Amino acid sequence: GIQVEQSPPDLILQEGANSTLRCNFSDSVNNLQWFHQNPWGQLINLFYIPSGTKQNGRLSATTVATERYSLLYISSSQTTDSGVYFCAGPYGGATNKLIFGTGTLLAVQP
Amino acid sequence: GAGVSQSPSNKVTEKGKDVELRCDPISGHTALYWYRQSLGQGLEFLIYFQGNSAPDKSGLPSDRFSAERTGGSVSTLTIQRTQQEDSAVYLCASSLSKVEAFFGQGTRLTVV
């Protein structure tokens, strides 16, 4: 089954700065999601992005399935962007369970 | 329902007791997942249900853990003879087959 690696593990930004988070997969995926876990522990869906590019306000994501990676862009960061960002993809084979990366802990300082 | 619902939100139990955690998936979703998240850690896969197929139980950490999904809808995760290391947030998610998954708010389990 696939393995998922995220980088960087930690990131500190000043409010207003931009950032790029990366997710690498050990094998090709046809189903990739980005989540934001807020300080209360709730997992919020950001993007479902098997391939291509999507944008939602200050956030955008790009998945290059053939090269087995996905990027999450955060522009003009705000303190409310703080939390942990996870990417996840299907394990593959006979099971479609989602495998999560270890996450990127983002702290946006005012 | 409008979203994935989990109950209870918080559960404090004594070591050695059994607990049941409930997950109500989004109506019509055929896939259901359980994960566990210990403090400051990532998401640990526990079990996956897909339609009428046999569940993928490969993530259950011991035989004290079991889960069932009745009628293809509500799921219950049962932990028998709880131990302190079982303390964590237990998260449930549901999806249509092989597409976007949505999570509930989780159940915070504390074993004292």
pLDDT, one tens digit per residue, over B5-28 is 999 999 999 999 999 999 999 999
Contact A103, B42 (CB under 8 A): yes
Contact B106, B89 (CB under 8 A): yes
Mutate to test the interface with A, among B32, B89, B100 (most CBs of A within 10 A): B100
Shortest distance between the Cα of A6 and any Cα of chain B, in A, equals: 11
| Res B66: pLDDT | 97
Which residue of chain A has the CA closest to B46? A97
Contacts of B62 (CB under 8 A, 6+ apart): none
| pLDDT tens-digit series, residues B33-66 | 999 999 888 899 999 999 888 999 999 999 999 9
Whether omega before A39 lies within 30 degrees of 0, making that bond cis, reads no
> What is the 3-state secondary structure of B20-79?
EEEEECCCCCCEEEEEEECCCCCCEEEEEEECCCCCECCCCCCCCEEEEEHHHCCEEEEE
**Which candidate from A41, A45, A97 shows the least CB-CB separation from B100?**
A45
Shortest distance between the Cα of A18 and any Cα of chain B, in A, equals: 24
**Paired residues of B55 in beta bridges:** none
Residue A104 amino acid letter: T
Contact criterion met (CB < 8 Å) for B102 and A45: yes
| Res B39: pLDDT | 87
Contact B83, B75 (CB under 8 A): no
- Res B1 pLDDT > 60: no
Q: Which of residues 3-62 of A touch B (CB under 8 A)?
A: 30-31, 33, 35, 41-43, 45, 48
CA–CA distance, A98 with A103 (Å, rounded to integer): 14
